[in-house]
Amino acid sequence: MLLKHGHPTAEAMVESTLRWIKFFEEEKFHDIVLSLKSADVDASVKAQNIISGKTNYPLHIGVTEAGTLISGIVKTSIGVSALLKKNIGDTFRVSITEDPLIQVKIAKEILNTLGLRERGSEIISCPSCGRAEVDIRSIALAVEQRAESLAVPKKIAVMGCVVNAAGEAREADYGIGCGKGKGAIFKKGVVIKTVKEEELVSELFELIEAEQNQPEMA
């Protein structure tokens, strides 16, 4: 195989897989799950694409040994989404050098983004710029963490300034628009209250949770 293909190409992985399938089938063994992965995104995607057209066995997809956090997320997202969008793949792993809990979180986010999983809360947050007068990153992370435990998932906007907050917050269920040392809490684009910066996250979730805990009107 190595002499024929030179190195582990997509074609080599497919040929080798088909050989193993034939071997198992001749032994009357059909409880098979396929996994053809490479650390090379193109080779992985190509091999998984080809094999999906040649057999009906369940296929585990992904890019193996994709690296550390940032490069791993990029490689996995590019590889896996190209396949999932074509309905190829039954399981996948985010194979990166990170805590398994982070791997699962990234996998869920990929499925959420592709609309293949019932979404949890969605956080829309700005990248910050010279207009921001607060630490928007830590506020967005705190909001994301609190949102994980909401009984009913919500779309929440976290904006570094009030200029863009009103527009973005209109599209979200709730929102925060920050100013100097304080910020506004929005609901469907309407300002509900203005609070100190350090109280923004707790006040926002007090509002959301109070509304979620209200008994439904008959």
- Site residues (vs ligand SF4, CB under 6 A): 126-129, 131-132, 159-161, 163-164
Closest CB 199 distance from ligand SF4, rounded Å: 20
Residue 188: half-sphere exposure toward Cβ, Cα within 13 Å: 0
Whichever of 100 and 130 has its CB closer to ligand SF4, that residue is 130
- Give DSSP secondary structure letters for 45-87: HHHHHHHHTT--S-EEE--TT--SHHHHHHHHHHHHHHHHTTT
Whichever of 16 and 128 has its CB closer to ligand SF4, that residue is 128
What are the residues whose beta carbons fall under 8 Å from the beta carbon of 8, sequence distance 6 or more? 38, 43
- The residue number with the shortest CB distance to ligand SF4 is 160
Whichever of 126 and 204 has its CB closer to ligand SF4, that residue is 126
Closest CB 169 distance from ligand SF4, rounded Å: 10
Tell which residue, 78, 11, 66, has the closest CA to residue 38.
Answer: 66
Closest CB 105 distance from ligand SF4, rounded Å: 24
Closest CB 129 distance from ligand SF4, rounded Å: 3
Whichever of 96 and 178 has its CB closer to ligand SF4, that residue is 178
Q: Answer yes or no: are the C-beta atoms of 156 and 173 closer than 8 Å.
A: yes
Q: What are phi and psi of 28, to 5 degrees?
A: 60, 35
